[in-house]
């Protein structure tokens, strides 16, 4: 069974203001704080591959590769067991 997780991570930012501008202004851009939820499809010492959409046949879609050094926090989420009613 794959791990369902919430990953808090920093993403590269910039290029939001097009056109010529002083290089000194570019230092104001900061990395974006992001949160993503999904199943870990692959993990090694360099990256995590997170898949937010899966099927019963173990197919996935919408994967994102997040460099490990961009990850701030990984929290395991618990899936509720399937049961009857609400």
What was the pLDDT predicted at 85? Answer: 60
Q: Domain segments of the chain: what residues?
A: 4-13+29-76
The pTM (predicted TM-score) of the whole model is: 0.78
What was the pLDDT predicted at 18? Answer: 75
DSSP state of 57: T
- How many Å apart are CA 42 and CA 50, to the nearest integer? 7
Per-residue pLDDT averaged across 67-71, rounded? 97
The answer on pLDDT for 53 being more than 80 is: yes
Residue 84's pLDDT band, with cuts at 50, 70 and 90, is low
Alpha helices in the chain (DSSP H): 23-26
Strands 71-76 and 60-61, sheet pairing: unpaired
Give 33's strand partners: 10
What residues have CB less than 8 Å from 42, skipping those under 6 apart? 48, 49
């Amino acid at each position: 069974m794959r791990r369902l997780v919430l990953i808090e991570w920093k993403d590269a930012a910039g290029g939001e203001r097009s056109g010529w501008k002083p290089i000194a202004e570019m230092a104001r851009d900061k990395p974006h704080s992001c949160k993503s939820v999904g199943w870990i499809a692959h993990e090694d010492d360099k990256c995590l591959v997170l898949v937010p959409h899966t099927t019963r046949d173990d197919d996935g879609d919408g994967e994102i590769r997040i460099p490990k050094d961009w990850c701030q926090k990984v929290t395991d989420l618990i899936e509720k067991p399937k049961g009857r009613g609400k």
